[in-house]
């Protein structure tokens, strides 16, 4: 008997499923957190210069995001997984208030139609798992937080998931399954997610930055605001 091919729906998180950028939210919450607040400066101080270079056009967005994600671990340094998840869970309510209603509707639609729903983001996996608990994602793919002997170790290099790495992670996740890519969907706002969007037959540009908006228009991709 021929195995039925699986269709997937891939959702980016920042500025796509969630309407805003999560990093500024993490920054705000960790500063006030009773467990990790004292370590805020250890993360923020080395992050100021890369952000300034980005604003001046001296550093690409992908690079500064990777640096910021690595540096943020300094705020979580020494925390257990339970403590880290507890911190992330305090942000859940804020996230839920600003989930993109059209994307939530699309997620539910794909779920009803039998798609395998996937959240694919550069955000930390425990963060994503905590803040989207009420939403029916079958699989969550993101950036893993390095733990050593049960606690966060910020000295371990972070493999930040973005651009081509997203595609690599998706293909690795479904390496033993037959996927109907032509009839699958992907949603994102960033041009750097072009590899992921190009993986499927139905790419959707959501609140797209200028370069992606132009590319989507030229290639007659669906666009959402």
* pLDDT for 62: 84
In a domain, 3, yes or no: no
> pLDDT digits over 134-181, tens only?
999 999 999 999 999 999 999 999 999 998 999 999 999 999 999 999
In a domain, 84, yes or no: yes
pTM of the model: 0.94
Which residues in the chain come in under a pLDDT of 70? 1-3
In a domain, 13, yes or no: yes
Distance of CA 159 to the CA centre of its chain: 13
In a domain, 140, yes or no: yes
C-alpha 16/C-alpha 79 separation (Å) is 29
* pLDDT for 51: 79
Query: For 60-171, where are the E strands, in sequence order?
Result: 116-124, 139-143, 147-148, 151-152
In a domain, 12, yes or no: yes
In a domain, 154, yes or no: yes
In a domain, 2, yes or no: no
Considering its fold, how many domains does the chain have in total?
Answer: 1
Q: Which domain holds residue 169?
A: 8-224
Q: What is the CATH number of the domain that holds 62?
A: 3.40.50.1000
In a domain, 1, yes or no: no
């Amino acid at each position: 008997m021929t195995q039925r091919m699986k269709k997937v729906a891939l959702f980016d998180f920042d500025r796509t499923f969630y309407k805003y950028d999560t990093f500024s939210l993490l920054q705000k919450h960790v500063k006030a957190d009773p467990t990790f607040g004292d370590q805020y400066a250890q993360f923020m101080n080395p992050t100021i210069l890369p952000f300034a270079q980005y604003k001046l056009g001296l550093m690409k967005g992908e690079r500064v995001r990777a640096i910021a994600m690595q540096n943020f671990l300094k705020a979580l340094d020494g925390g257990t997984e339970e403590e880290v998840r507890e911190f992330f869970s305090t942000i859940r309510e804020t996230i839920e208030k600003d989930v993109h209603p059209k994307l939530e509707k699309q997620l539910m639609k794909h779920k009803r139609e039998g798609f395998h729903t996937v959240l694919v983001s550069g955000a930390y996996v425990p963060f994503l798992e905590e803040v989207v608990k009420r939403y029916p994602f079958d699989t969550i793919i993101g950036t893993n937080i390095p733990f050593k002997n049960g606690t966060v170790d910020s000295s371990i290099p972070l493999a930040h998931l973005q651009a081509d790495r997203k595609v690599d992670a998706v293909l690795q996740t479904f390496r033993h399954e037959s996927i109907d890519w032509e009839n699958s969907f992907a949603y994102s706002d960033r041009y750097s997610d072009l590899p992921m969007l190009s993986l499927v037959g139905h790419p959707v540009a959501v609140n797209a930055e200028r370069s992606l908006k132009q590319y989507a228009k030229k290639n007659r991709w669906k666009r959402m605001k």
